[in-house]
């Protein structure tokens, strides 16, 4: 199953222990690289400049990874909620238009998603072009009943 954030064709698969180790290891290395550089810098004109640059790099990298960590964790929570509480639904293709998806040719499908337990809603889902994506076709979907922006097209 592919989890999709808001219909923009970005899959959010679950991250396992190896993925966690790689992500948090990269974070730790990025944060520790700048103070290490500052420690070994000579304290002359260029040394002070290197220390200032390493402090700025530490702040920038730490901020970037902190925001990325928060975003990834929120998306993981949404994907887990969809997997546990998702309702099977049907997505009818109302319109199809060519678009760019991840720097490749794709389609923007206007969908009407209906199912039990939530109000029908329309959304635009960007994805790679696949057979069976003509106007009027119905695709299987999974929807979080509390949040219409969290859904997955399960074909």
| pLDDT value of residue 91 | 93
**Whether 26 and 71 share a structural domain:** yes
**End of a domain among 28, 59, 84?**
84
**End of a domain among 84, 105, 128?**
84
For residues 109 and 47, what is the distance between their CA atoms, to the nearest angstrom?
Answer: 56
Query: What total of structural domains would you count in the chain?
Result: 2
- Does 101 reside within a domain? yes
3-state secondary structure 69-129: HHHHHHHHHHHHHHHHHCEEEEEEEEEEEEEEECCEEEEEEEEEEECCCCCCEEEEEEECC
- Does 52 reside within a domain? yes
Per-residue pLDDT of the chain (155 residues; tens, 9 = 90+): 344 444 444 455 556 778 778 878 887 887 777 677 666 666 677 777 777 887 888 888 888 888 988 988 888 888 888 888 889 999 999 999 988 887 788 899 999 999 998 889 999 988 888 888 889 999 999 998 888 778 888 77
**Whether 75 and 93 share a structural domain:** no
Host H or E run for residue 37: helix 17-40
For residues 129 and 122, what is the distance between their CA atoms, to the nearest angstrom?
Answer: 19
Rg (CA), the chain: 22
Pairing of strands 87-101, 104-114: antiparallel
- Does 69 reside within a domain? yes
**The pair of three-digit structure tokens given for residue 21, joined into one six-digit string:** 């180790």
Length of the chain: 155
Structural domain including 73 reads 17-84
- Does 79 reside within a domain? yes
**End of a domain among 25, 49, 84?**
84
**Whether 98 and 139 share a structural domain:** yes
**Whether 75 and 123 share a structural domain:** no
For residues 17 and 23, what is the distance between their CA atoms, to the nearest angstrom?
Answer: 10
| pLDDT value of residue 30 | 76
| pLDDT value of residue 4 | 44
């Amino acid at each position: 199953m592919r989890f999709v954030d808001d219909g923009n064709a970005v899959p959010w698969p679950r991250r396992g222990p190896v993925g966690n180790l790689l992500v948090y290891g990269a974070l730790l290395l990025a944060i520790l690289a700048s103070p290490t550089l500052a420690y070994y810098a000579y304290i002359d004109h260029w040394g002070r400049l290197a220390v200032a640059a390493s402090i700025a790099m530490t702040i920038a990298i730490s901020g970037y990874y902190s925001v990325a960590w928060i975003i990834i964790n929120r998306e993981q929570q949404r994907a887990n909620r969809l997997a546990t509480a998702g309702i099977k639904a049907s997505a009818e293709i109302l319109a199809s238009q060519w678009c760019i998806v991840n720097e490749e040719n794709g389609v923007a499908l206007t969908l009407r998603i209906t199912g039990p337990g939530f109000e029908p809603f329309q959304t635009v889902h960007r994805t790679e072009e696949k057979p069976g994506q003509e106007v009027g076709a119905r695709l299987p979907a999974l929807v979080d009943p509390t949040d219409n922006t969290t859904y997955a097209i399960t074909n």
